[in-house]
Amino acid sequence: MNPIILNKEGEELMTQDEIPEESKLTAFSAGRHSVCNGTMRVIGVSRTHKALVCPECCLRILFPQDVGTFRELRAYLLETDAS
C-alpha cells in the first residue's frame, strides 16, 4: 500500500507493498517511520484512544480505539491533523 501520511508536516508510515489496506493494525511492526526508519507500533493509551508510536524518535500519533485497519487510520488522519 502507499505510505500513510501521519501529520501536516508530512511524516509518513511506510508499510510493505504487499500488505493490504484492510489489514488490522497490530501491536508490533505497523510499519516504518519515514524520518528515522524506526519500527512503529500501536499501543493503548486510554479507554478512548490508541497511539502509533515510534521508539526511535518518540513520534506519537493518537487515534480513536475504533480505528482498526490501515484504511481506517488513513481516513482518520486525512480528516484530522494530517490535512
* Residues near Zn ion (CB under 5 A): 33, 36, 38, 54, 56-57, 59
Work out how close the CB of 56 gets to Zn ion at its nearest, in angstroms, rounded to a whole number.
Answer: 4
Residue 28 or 47 with smaller CB distance to Zn ion: 28
Q: Give 61 or 65: the residue with its C-beta nearer to Zn ion.
A: 61
Q: Is the dihedral of CA 37, 52, 71, 68 positive or negative?
A: positive
CB of 66 to Zn ion, least distance (A): 25
Residue 4, Cα to own-chain centre: how many angstroms? Answer: 7
**Would you call 39 helix, strand, or coil by DSSP?**
strand
Report the alpha-carbon distance of residue 41 to residue 60 in Å, rounded.
Answer: 10
Least distance to Zn ion, CB of residue 40, Å: 7
Query: Within 13 Å and on the Cβ side, how many CA atoms surround 50?
Result: 17
In the bound state with Zn ion, the residue whose beta carbon lies nearer, of 29 and 65, is 29
